[in-house]
Structure 1
Amino acid sequence: MGKDLVTAVFSPHDRVLFRRKVRDCLDVLAGMLDSEPFETDGPTTGLEIEINLVDADAGPAMRNAEILADLDDPRFQPELGRFNLELNVPPRRLAGSGLAEFEEDILDALRGASECARKDECHLLLIGMLPTLAPDHLVLANLSDNERFRALDAEIAGARGDDFRIRIDGTENLVSSSDTIAPEASCTSTQFHIQVAPENFGRYWNASQAVAGVQLALGANSPFLYGRRLWAETRIPFFEQATDARPEEFSAQGVRPRVWFGDRWIDSVLDLYEENLRYFPPLLPELSEEDPAATLASGGIPQLYELRLHNGTVYRWNRPVYDVSGGRPHLRVENRVLPAGPSVADLVANAAFYFGLVRQLAEEDPPVWACLGFGTAEANFRAGARDGIAARLTWPGLGEVPVTTLVRDVLLPRARAGLDRLGVNPAERDRLLGIIDDRCRTGRNGATWQTGAVHAAEQRGLDRAAALREMTQRYLEYQRSNEPVHTWPV
């Protein structure tokens, strides 16, 4: 969620000054894109994974502060809820054994954190939405002890001026409300980062948007919340509604939500930052002392603090990132589409598919987005979230087809070619993309395994709550094996 705030009480004047600073940052960035040497030796990739803490009964364990203090590992940070952690995996290039090294890094980090968690009588679980959550777990008192989270809650709730109302019509239906953003803590994701040259940013972002529906369909892992079976990836509609800062009148007028797919293909990273400034009022107008123009004029590289902080409160499913590392600026696409889990092997297979496919599509001419309407890409996104691996998606030259057919016949060969461009070891390429192919062949991902396991338990006479507990405990056991979910017995 980002750095802690220095202050968390803001005046109207703070907001005026913050808007001006965001504009100044944007002007400086525009000049830098023409004159500064951005880091382009790559592409470099990275991962972030949000994790649930569960107790012996598979319910949420509100102990992240204790575990983080005991662990003392800078790769782990608190997330929004007291039952959440975030693991930041050090970035690397994928050439050679980069993907295998990602997998080992994640497993190693999880082993260390699991040891600390066991001392506090809880376990780490990688899953899109913890199936055993109830509304009384997701309350203000269970936000992590972090000034930024409290400030976000106050600002978003204040902007809305009413309860957050949630309605999801799925296999079963959910109607709920909350006076806090705490329910957002139910949504745990995996985020992929890919560093790109400024002149290529638009192509990589467009390619990421074009395949977001495919990613969701293949990787759906959030079918249950509050005891109800909803969408294959319930995390998508729930997150959109649980953090909707718009009053109902603004929503009716078509004001854009802060959790946003977007509404057009882009040419430059500046298009997205301009939209941030044009459409979204500041939520956390914390001001830095940096004068970005003066820093640049003196030969330094500006941090563009206000631009980055504002961008962090616009929750695009594919988000731009400006950062400075080793004294050089760089740009990244942050892909925020997928849930956490089911296994680390599944997670890294999803990464291989995304990195390879986006690399290939970004290099192709004509690009896929020249033939794919943006509205169609968003419709694919919704269909992938709702229907998961059973979704039918629309693709240029094919029309509407089962996502498994699209992936096996069209997209896996492109992902394979993209990984070859990235220099990935062929054995690793084939192992990881083989997991994606087998997932399509069997029709089983995290969402279908969860629903199948709960159905089987209910057929044996368990009620829904007991079936969800049993399924979550079995999920945890299989996750530890690091076998892909399509091999798990139901």
Structure 2
Amino acid sequence: MGEDVEAQEFTRADRTRYREKVRRCLDVFERMLSESAFDTDDPYTGLEVEFNLVDDAGDPALRNAEVLDAIADPDFQTELGQFNVEMNWPPAPLRGSALSRMEAGLRDTLNQAETRSAKVGAHLVMIGILPTLRPEHLAEDTISQNPRYSLLSEQILAARGEDISIDIRGVERLRTTSDSIMPEAACTSTQLHVQTTPDRFAAYWNASQAISGIQLAVAANSPYLLGKQLWRETRIPLFEQAADTRSEELKAQGVRPRVWFGERWITSVFDLFEENVRYFPALLPVTDDEEDPLTVLEAGGTPNLAELRLHNGTIYRWNRPIYDISGGLPHLRVENRVLAAGPTVVDTVANAAFYFGLVRTLAESDRPLWSQMSFSAAEENFHHAAQRGIEAEVYWPGVGRVRATELVLRRLLPMAHDGLLAWGVDSAEADRYLAIIEQRCLEGTNAAEWFARQMVERGSDERYDDLRATLADYRSGMADNRPVHTW
């Protein structure tokens, strides 16, 4: 959820000072893009995974503080809800057997974390939305202890001026309201990071936007929320509604949402940060009075741009620009936030391989895909795939409307394979992980589809009993690390 902040109240003067500082940071960032040496020699890729915590019965376990104490690993951190934790996987170059090392390392780390968390009565589950959540688990008193989350909740509710309304129409319909942002905690994701040069950032971001719908189609994993079967990737509409600062009147006026697909292809990373400053008021106007970014830059240093980064962290683009510093040098990343968590480590690495390979090929193409495709078509693909999952049809240049699975099998898997080789990944390594994506498409099965089918087979009158039983089978498949299409 971004940088930590201290509990506090904000005045009108705080907001004015923060706006001025953010704009100064933006000016310095623009200058850095043309003058500074960004870290581009050996681009890294990275991974973050969010988890749900459940008890032995499969119900939410509100114990993330105890779990983090038990795990005692700085790579695990708190998240919004007391039934959430997040794990950060160290970034590394994507070459050789990097994917296999990622899989082995993730499995080892998660097995150790599971052993330790089980001692305090909680178990880690990788799934986009925990299906056994009930309304009481999304109440204000289940927010994590970190002051950042309570502040965010207060500021979003204050900006709205009314309770948050959730209305999702899928296989069934869910309508509810909340007096906090806790419904957002139901959304647990896998976040993929790809480092790029300033001059290539726009190409990687545009490519990421263009393939977001395809990612959702093959990897959807959140079909149930509060006992209702909704979209195959219910995370998408839930997150869009749960973090919406707009009243109905502001929506009618066309005010942009904070959970945002965007509205255009870009030509520079600056476009995205400039939009952030131009369109969105501050949610957490915390000003760092110790750094003047221009003074730091002119002295030969690398400014933190703390306000610009904090502001960016409260605007939830599905592909978010990241400015960061490592080893004293600035760098840029695309943070791909499209995918749900899970269902297994090997599926997660396969999803990462598909994204990293495909985005590389498209971003480095001589004829950009986004020059042949409207931005609105990419957004329509995104939401349709979230709703339909593995059965989605999408638009693709030169093809027209096509089943996403057919598009992946005929065109995109070879492109992803070429992209992985361009990163330096071993050919056999690329074959192994992309074969998992191939089999999902051939079988017409991803995690959301598997879960929904299991629920149909059970079909008792006790929906939550069926959800617990199906989740138990899901956890078994997750523990065995068997790709979901083999379950």
Q: What TM-score do you get using the length of structure 1 for normalisation?
A: 0.98
Does 2:469 correspond to 1:470? yes
Q: Tell me whether 107-116 or 257-266 shows the greater mean CA deviation.
A: 107-116
Say if 2:113 is the partner of 1:108.
no
Correspondence 1:358-373 to 2 at 5 A: 358-373=359-374
1:252 aligns with 2:252: yes
1:398 to 2:434 alignment: no
Contact persistence 1:140–1:182 (CA under 8 A): yes
Secondary structure, in 3 states, of the residue corresponding to 1:175? strand
1:453-473 superposed Cα distances (whole Å, 9 cap, x missing partner): 111111xx4521111010001
Corresponding residue number in structure 1 for 2:413? 412
Q: For residues 164-183 of structure 1, what are the alpha-carbon distances to aligned partners after superposition, in whole Å with 9 as ceiling and x for unaligned?
A: 11111101111111111011
Give 1:432's aligned residue.
Answer: 433
- How much has 1:42 moved relative to structure 2? 2.5
- Once the two structures are superposed, what CA deviation does each residue of 1:280-312 show, in whole Å capped at 9, x if it has no partner? 000001111210000111111101000000000
| 8 Å Cα contact 2:67/2:122 also seen in 1 | no
Matches of 2:300 and 2:278, distance apart in 1:
30
Deviation at 1:43, TM superposition (A): 2.2
| AA in 2 matched with 1:393 | V
Equivalent-residue separation in structure 2 for 1:11 and 1:196 (angstroms): 38
Question: Partner of 1:142 in structure 2?
Answer: 142
Distance 1:249 1:124 in 2: 41
Using the alignment, how far apart are the partners of 2:328 and 2:101 within structure 1? Answer: 26
In the aligned structure 2, how far is the partner of 1:363 from the partner of 1:26? 28
SS in 1 for 2:265: coil
Write the letter of the residue equivalent to 2:414. P
Per-residue deviation at 1:94? Answer: 0.9
* Matches of 1:296 and 1:8, distance apart in 2: 30
Please report how far the alpha carbon of residue 4 of structure 1 lies from its aligned counterpart in structure 2 after TM superposition.
1.8
- How much does 1:276 deviate? 0.2
SS in 1 for 2:77: strand
Quote how far apart the aligned CAs of 1:7 are.
4.4
Query: Matches of residues 160-171 of structure 1 in structure 2 within 5 Å?
Result: 160-171=160-171
Segments ≥4 residues shifted beyond 2 Å: none
For the residues of structure 1 that align with 2:143 and 2:472, how far apart are their CA atoms? Answer: 25
Residue 318 of structure 2 corresponds to which residue in structure 1? 317
Residue type matched to 2:119 in 1? K
Which stretch shows the higher mean deviation, 312-321 or 160-169?
160-169
Residue aligning to 2:334: 333
Kept in 2: contact 1:6–1:286 (CA 8 A): no
Partners in 1 of 2:210 and 2:449 — Cα distance? 24
Say whether the 8 Å CA contact 1:45–1:194 is kept in structure 2.
Answer: yes
1:209 equivalent to 2:209? Answer yes
SS at match of 2:41: coil
Distance 1:204 1:42 in 2: 16
Q: Residue 222 of structure 1 aligns to a residue in which SS?
A: coil
Partner AA of 1:82 in structure 2: Q
| Runs of 5+ unmatched residues, structure 1 | none
Distance 2:7 2:86 in 1: 23
Hey, what's the Cα distance between the residues in 1 that align with 2:411 and 2:91?
A: 29
Conserved? CA contact 1:7–1:286, under 8 Å = no
After TM superposition, the structure 1 = structure 2 runs for residues 165-184 of structure 1, keeping only pairs within 5 Å, are 165-184=165-184
Do 2:70 and 2:120's aligned partners in 1 also have CA atoms closer than 8 Å? no
For the 8 Å contact 2:218–2:440, the answer to whether it is kept is yes
Give the SS at the match of 2:86.
strand
Secondary structure in 2 matching 1:284: coil
Does structure 1 retain, via aligned residues, the 8 Å contact 2:232–2:387? Answer: yes
Aligned to 2:184, what secondary structure does the other structure show? helix
Question: 1:334-389 deviations in whole A, cap 9, x for unaligned?
Answer: 00000000111000000000000000000112100000100000000011100000
- Please say if 1:6 is aligned against 2:18: no
CA distance, structure 2, for counterparts of residue 235 and residue 100 of structure 1: 28
Q: Residue in 2 aligned with 1:349?
A: 350
Instruction: Give the whole-Å Cα distance in 2 for the aligned partners of 1:397 and 1:341.
Output: 32
Question: Do the aligned partners of 1:439 and 1:445 also contact (CA within 8 Å) in 2?
Answer: yes
Distance 1:393 1:470 in 2: 34
Counterpart code for 2:463: R
Q: Deviations over 1:49-68 (max 9, x none)?
A: 00000011111000010111
Amino acid at match of 1:410: R
CA distance in 2, matches of 1:455, 1:476: 18
Q: Which moved more, 1:101-110 or 1:50-59?
A: 101-110
Decide whether the 8 Å contact of 1:42 with 1:196 is kept in 2: no
TM-score w.r.t. length of structure 2: 0.99
8 Å CA contact retained: 1:82, 1:143: yes
Once the 2 structures are TM-superposed, how far is the Cα of residue 98 of structure 1 from its aligned partner?
A: 1.0
Helix, strand or coil at the partner of 1:199 = coil
Question: What letter matches 2:250 in structure 1?
Answer: F
**Residue 384 of structure 1 corresponds to which residue in structure 2?**
385
Deviation string, structure 1 residues 135-178 (Cα, Å, up to 9, x no partner): 11101110100010010011001110101111111011111111
- Tell me how far apart the structure 1 counterparts of residues 344 and 446 of structure 2 sit (CA, whole Å): 11
One-letter identity of the residue aligned with 1:342: P
Could you tell me how far 1:36 is from its partner in structure 2? 1.0
Does structure 2 retain, via aligned residues, the 8 Å contact 1:213–1:381? yes
Give runs of aligned pairs for residues 426-465 of structure 1, distance below 5 A: 426-458=427-459, 461=460, 463-465=462-464
SS of equivalent residue, structure 1 residue 409: helix
- Is 1:479 matched with 2:474? no
Q: Secondary structure of the equivalent of 1:45?
A: strand
Describe the SS at the equivalent of 1:278.
helix
Partner Cα separation in structure 2 for residue 483 and residue 409 of structure 1: 25
The residue that corresponds to 2:64 in the other structure is 64
Question: How large is the Cα RMSD of the aligned pairs?
Answer: 0.8
Q: Which whole-Å CA distance do the structure 1 matches of 2:324 and 2:318 have between them?
A: 19
Q: C-alpha separation between the residues in 2 aligned to 1:12 and 1:247?
A: 21
SS at match of 1:145: coil
User: Structure 1, residues 391-449: CA drift from partner, whole Å, max 9, x if none?
Assistant: 00000000000001100111111100000100101111000000000000000000001
